[in-house]
Amino acid sequence: MTQPAIKTSSERVFPLSTEAIKQNGPFAKSLSVVDATVLRYSPASATWLFDGSEGTHLSIDVLVLSLRRTLDSYPQWSGYLHMPIGNDHPSASVADHTKRFNRPMLTWGTSADPGVEVIQAKSPHRLAELIPSCEQRASRYRVWDGRVIASMGIFPESPNLALYDRVTCDDLPCVIVQLTTFACGGLAITVKLAHVLADAQTLLTFVHDWATQNRWLVGGAKVEDVGIIERPFQPELVNRAADGDIDVAIPDEKILAKAKSIPLHRYDWWASADDCPSFMLKSTEIPDAIKTNQSSLSFGKPMPWRQWDILAPVSYYLVHFSREEVIAMWEASVTTTISQSQTTTSSPPKISKLDALFAHLWTLVIRARGLSQQDFDVHLDTTIGLRPRLSPPLPSHFIGSPIINIPVSLPASKVVGPNAASAAAAAIRESMNRYDSSTLETLLYEMAYEVDPSRRWNTFLGERHTIATSWLESRPGMGIYDVDFGFGRRPRLAESLMPECDGCIQVMESGVSNPKDVNEEISGATSRKFTPWYENGVAVSLHLRTDVMDKVLADTLLRRYDVFNNT
């Protein structure tokens, strides 16, 4: 049995330049209109596990010092995450979009800043006894039970993050770091952030910056000689991309009508008390401040609770697909799509390899849920990043959580019927293409005028919904396995923490080293040329209801594209 790590200490840390920040402060900024919509989301959280070795000292003290230098680039994360003044008495018509109800903001550079929580913990285990290597997970353990990761105690459970309940924030951090040492000399570095502050791309940017600063110190540099990496905090860039003027009290009904015609689920927490599990009922309550100050409210679509057995046991597996499998599933989708398009006047969508992988996984899930003969719609709710999609595009290192979930909907029978994978892949690509800068600027306008942005959930879970997300990186050297703290080795495992809910799919790089790079030093990773995410295979994290998971893993179609084992 896996014994969870034992907490040995905790402290709050601040940027090294805290005094200078206070002298120039205080500072305050409202988060973006998109950030406000993910207030109810689970924290953005990931861990990196490194093996120990003789002659290499993984210094906790140096890691904390380099973290403090890194926070000089992210001073706002040491600050106070809260709601705007007057949130208890919202007006029905507010001109300034940042002052409307439940628009989170950050204040920093004061003596009351809560700082970043740093927890140290110790595990009695040896990493190699718990976690197969990347190469082992790509060969011997291509299907691996990931529940051991959650049982290791490397993801901090307390304290709560600020606004964890959308209200409480006093003295709560918005970032928590846990450093866990193992009996083998190994180390787990875990970072957990309020999702309104960071999506996967921001979290990776932060951890890569921290690793860069740590390499300087490990290499013998004095901390005062380590430069501060410039990471502008500019949530207003998202808001500027919105259509129309979002700083007038009365919205433009034509733009709102256009927004509502754009396909999104728009489930409404406030309309979802019926059939809601009792332990979640509080989440459906309309805040007293709204009931008191809003004379009339319109409601959206209630959540289909009967489709989701929340108390059913959920399994968690990591499944490895090889480069050859990804290419084979893509080629099959493209060939069929081109063939079908020859009978129509429309051009076939340009299906990506990620489209094909998502389609393959979606088909397996719908088959396992026993929906093959059903004609009602099922949904692959895909997370997309807005950085390259807005006009003008956001910088690739933009700090924030600019993501939305978009629906890909098809009748269940078409997801599992003849040519199902190509039909699903084509539907995914068509949906992806729909959310361009023009569509998104309209949706941003709608978000700016939501009575409460966090009341809306653009996805769901359970029988008819599957959430698909990706941590794949297009920035060279910025992948989750490229993180290099100067320890002289790549991570044994890098994994994010997903909620144990039925219907979550997450795609990451496999972590398998490229044979061409075997003789290269890890510290040269950021100078390498970009390698396609599938080049060394891909790791898929699956969270599914246990009976559904069992059927997915037993399905002969799981490995239908394994050209080596099927010949």
Tokens of 114: 């809560």
3-state secondary structure of 188: strand
Question: What is d(CA 463, CA 369) in angstroms, rounded to the nearest whole number?
Answer: 7
Tokens of 409: 């909907």
Question: What is d(CA 262, CA 447) in angstroms, rounded to the nearest whole number?
Answer: 13
Question: What is d(CA 468, CA 233) in angstroms, rounded to the nearest whole number?
Answer: 28
Angle between helices 420-434 and 353-368 in degrees, nearest 10 = 120
Tokens of 166: 């959308």
Question: What is d(CA 361, CA 560) in angstroms, rounded to the nearest whole number?
Answer: 12
pLDDT of the residue at 521 = 44
3-state secondary structure of 550: helix
What domains, with CATH codes, occur in the chain?
Answer: 253-284+312-475+498-513+539-559 (3.30.559.10)
Question: What is d(CA 379, CA 459) in angstroms, rounded to the nearest whole number?
Answer: 9
| DSSP letter (8 states) at residue 366 | H
Question: What is d(CA 246, CA 470) in angstroms, rounded to the nearest whole number?
Answer: 31
According to DSSP, the residues that pair with 382 across neighbouring strands are 406, 468
For 179, list phi and psi in degrees, rounded to 5.
-115, 110
Full-model pTM: 0.95
Instruction: Report yes or no: 213 and 59 within 8 Å, Cβ to Cβ.
Output: no
Which parts of 51-173 are beta strand (E)?
80-82, 105-108, 116-122, 143-145
Torsion of CA 11, 16, 21, 23, to 10 degrees: 100
In what helix (H) or strand (E) does residue 456 lie, and over which residues does it extend? strand 456-457
For 151, list phi and psi in degrees, rounded to 5.
-85, -5
Question: What is d(CA 354, CA 127) in angstroms, rounded to the nearest whole number?
Answer: 31
In what helix (H) or strand (E) does residue 470 lie, and over which residues does it extend? strand 465-470
Question: What is d(CA 205, CA 26) in angstroms, rounded to the nearest whole number?
Answer: 25
Return the closest-CA partner of residue 465 out of 404, 559, 347, 382.
382
Local confidence pLDDT in tens for the 567 residues of the chain: 789 999 999 999 999 999 999 999 899 999 999 999 999 999 999 999 999 976 566 899 999 999 999 999 999 999 999 999 888 877 767 899 999 999 999 999 999 999 999 999 999 999 999 999 999 999 999 999 999 999 999 999 999 999 999 999 999 999 999 999 999 999 999 999 999 999 999 999 999 999 999 999 999 999 999 999 999 999 999 999 999 999 999 999 999 999 999 999 999 999 999 999 999 999 999 999 898 877 788 999 999 999 999 999 999 999 999 999 999 999 999 987 766 655 555 667 899 999 999 999 999 999 999 999 999 999 999 999 999 999 999 999 999 999 999 999 999 999 997 788 889 999 999 999 999 999 999 999 999 999 999 999 999 999 999 999 999 999 999 999 999 999 989 999 999 999 899 999 999 999 998 765 544 544 444 455 678 999 999 999 999 999 999 999 999 999 999 976 664
Cis before residue 392, ω within 30 degrees of 0?
A: yes
Tokens of 152: 């290791």
Tokens of 317: 């597996």
